[in-house]
């Protein structure tokens, strides 16, 4: 008898204090189930409702081996598509179906995708400090741990040291000064290169916090320091300005963690305006669209740099690493690190050693979830303050 989907549900947990959403797809075959990451941490309950109330009844009784058909039909089942809530819900199901397919085939996901191109994924960590010397110290500490790539930031996403005066009655928020930020970054990297040389790869994230023309200036000013990449220099609404950055300097560019629809990268890839795609894989709908996007990039010489922050579940991190190992055009993997409670809730986590992350050899995604342990870490459903970001005069801007 063929295997069918028996149940689909979203499980919420916060072992590291960050709300995570994981989807479990159970089948009519005893003990055969899959897990997928559906984490949209700021709207976790909305994703849970989409999974439990809409995808569950749509999917029960369907054949879990038909991943492509389920992806396509789930995308249009709500008619309106490619929003972050529904894409994350679909990703939870999509990754779980790939997990099930690997378990049925008795193969790790990277084998289903064509096999390993490398043994492990090179990763970068995030060094943050109040001033250049503090950042340099943190980079050196990472280097001692074996890291070969480090993203360097000053004061979170920056611009907090010098600040223009606020007007009276300015509303609360996470204030920052875009001009002070922009001027501080070349100073930071000049210091880091003097101190550390050019052996270690350095990265930086603008977090779309500059006006377009100042972002062009920053990319040019950073060119002498040979970044591995400059991330999210522009907001998703301003991507035409990448043509100007490209025409004026050779700083490698990474873009896209806020995109929802894979077509948002299309112009940037076909015009070869970026070097790395930043993709929050659950945000675009899971492994099915991500592997196609990676293959599309390969033709144009663009490499992958999947988003790997703390608001990706270990299931999502495992999916990232499987794609990393199987893609010829893998670039780099962001790695947030996993604490003990995360390892307790998710047995089989990928492991970091000497600047690389390794997978186990188990079939599917190779990671499980202890639901009893997960229940010990309830979600707080609080949206962080940094999402209310303001310029010195009180104007609300993108975070
Ligand atoms: Mg980023």
- Together in a domain, 128 and 256: yes
Question: How far away, in angstroms, is 98 Cα from ligand 1 center?
Answer: 27
Q: What is the DSSP string of 158-176?
A: S--SS-PPPPTTPPPSEE-
Residue 272 neighbours by CB distance under 10 Å = 11
91, 239: one domain: no
Q: Are 215 and 244 in contact (CB under 8 A)?
A: no
Q: Say how many Å lie between the CA of residue 302 and the centre of ligand 1.
A: 18
122 C-alpha to ligand 1 centroid (Å): 17
Q: Which string of DSSP letters, residue by residue, matches 296-326?
A: HHHHHT-EE-----TTS-HHHHHHHHHHHHH
Distance from the alpha carbon of residue 86 to the mean position of ligand 1, in angstroms = 22
Active-site position among 33, 124, 149, 157: 157
Per the annotation, the verdict on 157 as an active-site residue is yes
Three-state SS string over 39-67 comes to: CCHHHHHHHHHHHHHHHHHHHCCCCCCCH
Query: What sign has the CA pseudo-torsion 65, 67, 68, 69?
Result: positive
pLDDT number for residue 383: 87
Question: What are the backbone angles phi and psi of residue 194, rounded to the nearest 5°?
Answer: -60, -40
For residue 159, the model assigns a pLDDT of: 79
Tokens of 311: 């608001």
Secondary structure (3-state) at 24: strand
Whether residue 332 contacts residue 308, with contact meaning beta carbons closer than 8 Å, is answered with: no
Q: What distance in angstroms lies between residue 370's CA and the mean position of ligand 1's atoms?
A: 30
Last residue of a domain, one of 108, 141, 164: 108
Alpha helices in the chain (DSSP H): 44-49, 56-59, 67-77, 84-105, 109-112, 132-144, 178-196, 212-221, 242-248, 266-270, 281-284, 287-300, 314-326, 340-345, 371-374
Co-location of 333 and 279 in the same domain: yes
Q: Does residue 379 lie within any of the structural domains? A: no
According to DSSP, the residues that pair with 37 across neighbouring strands are 22
Rounded-to-integer distance, Cα 263 and Cα 278, Å: 13
The 8-class DSSP code of residue 114 comes to T
- Tell how strand 174-175 and strand 356-358 pair up: unpaired
- Domain of 301? 112-364
Residue 232 structure tokens: 């999210």
Q: Domain boundary at 47, 80, 108, which? A: 108
**318, part of any domain:** yes
Q: What's residue 26's pLDDT?
A: 98
pTM comes to 0.97
Q: Give the 3-state secondary structure percentages of the chain, helix then strand then coil, rounded to 5.
A: 40, 15, 40
Residues 15 and 132 both lie in one domain:
no
CA 80 – CA 76 distance, rounded (Å) = 7
How confident is the model at residue 325, as a pLDDT?
A: 98
Residues 22 and 90 in one domain: yes
Ligand 1 centre from 236 Cα, in Å? 12
Tokens 């028996």: give the residue. 6
Say whether both 83 and 208 belong to one domain: no
Distance (angstroms) between ligand 1 centre and the Cα of 232 equals: 6
68 and 26 share a domain? yes
Please tell me the distance between residue 280's alpha carbon and the centre of ligand 1 in angstroms: 10
Both tokens of 50, joined, read 């989409």
In this prediction, the residues of the chain whose per-residue pLDDT falls under 50 are none
- Count CB-CB contacts under 10 A for residue 213: 10
Asked whether 16 and 310 are in contact (CB, 8 A), the reply is yes
* pLDDT at site 331: 98
How many A from CA of 333 to the centre of ligand 1?
12
- Both 141 and 89 in one domain: the answer is no
Tell me the CA end-to-end span of the chain in Å, nearest whole number: 52
- Whether 209 is covered by a domain: the verdict is yes
Rounded Cα–Cα distance for residues 314 and 337 (Å)? 10
Residue located via tokens 């007007």: 167
Q: Can you say whether the dihedral through the CA atoms of 372, 377, 383, 389 is positive or negative?
A: negative
Q: Which two tokens stand for residue 140?
A: 């050196």
Please check whether residue 370 lies inside any domain of the structure. Answer: no
181 as an active site residue: the answer is: no
User: Structural domain tally of the chain?
Assistant: 2
Q: Which of 204, 207, 280, 322 is catalytic?
A: 207
CATH number of the domain where residue 95 is located? 3.30.390.10
Residue 38 located in a structural domain? yes
- How far apart are alpha carbons 129 and 142 in whole angstroms? 13
CA of residue 124 to ligand 1 center, whole Å: 12
Starting from the edge strand earliest in sequence, which strands make up the sheet with 5-13, in order?
5-13, 20-27, 33-37
| CATH number for the domain harbouring residue 324 | 3.20.20.120
For residue 305, the CA-to-ligand 1 centroid distance in Å is 10
């Amino acid at each position: 008898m063929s295997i069918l989907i028996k149940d689909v549900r979203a499980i919420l947990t916060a072992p590291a204090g960050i709300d995570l959403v994981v989807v479990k797809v159970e089948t009519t075959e005893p003990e055969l189930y899959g897990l997928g990451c559906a984490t949209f941490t700021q709207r976790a309950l909305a994703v849970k409702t989409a999974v439990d109330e809409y995808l569950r009844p749509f999917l029960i009784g369907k054949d879990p081996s038909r991943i492509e058909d389920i992806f396509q039909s789930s995308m249009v089942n709500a008619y309106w598509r490619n929003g972050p809530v529904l894409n994350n819900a679909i990703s939870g199901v999509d990754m779980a179906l790939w997990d099930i397919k690997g378990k049925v085939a008795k193969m790790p996901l990277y084998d289903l995708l064509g096999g390993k191109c490398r043994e492990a994924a090179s990763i970068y960590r995030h060094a943050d400090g109040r001033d250049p010397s503090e950042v340099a110290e943190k980079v050196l500490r990472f280097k001692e741990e074996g890291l070969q790539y480090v993203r360097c930031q000053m004061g979170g996403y920056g611009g907090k040291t010098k600040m223009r005066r606020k007007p009276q009655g300015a509303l609360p928020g996470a204030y920052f000064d875009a001009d002070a930020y922009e001027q501080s970054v070349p100073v930071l990297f000049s210091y880091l290169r003097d101190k550390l040389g050019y052996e270690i790869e350095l990265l930086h994230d603008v977090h779309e916090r500059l006006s377009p023309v100042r972002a062009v200036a920053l990319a040019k000013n950073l060119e002498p320091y040979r970044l591995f990449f400059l991330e999210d220099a522009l907001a998703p609404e301003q991507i035409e300005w990448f043509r100007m950055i490209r025409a004026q300097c050779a700083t490698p560019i990474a873009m896209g963690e806020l995109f929802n629809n894979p077509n948002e990268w299309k112009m940037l890839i076909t015009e070869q305006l970026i070097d790395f795609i930043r993709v929050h894989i659950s945000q675009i709908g899971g492994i099915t669209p991500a592997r196609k996007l990676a293959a599309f990039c390969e033709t144009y010489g663009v490499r992958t740099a999947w988003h790997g922050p703390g608001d990706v579940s270990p299931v999502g991190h495992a999916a990232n690493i499987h794609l990393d190992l199987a893609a010829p055009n893998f670039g780099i993997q962001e790695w947030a690190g996993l604490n003990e409670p995360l390892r307790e809730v998710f047995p089989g986590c990928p492991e970091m050693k000497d600047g690389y992350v390794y997978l186990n050899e188990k079939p599917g995604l190779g990671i499980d979830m202890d639901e009893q342990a997960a229940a010990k870490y309830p979600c707080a459903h609080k949206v962080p303050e940094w999402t209310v970001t303001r310029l010195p005069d009180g104007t609300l801007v993108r975070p």
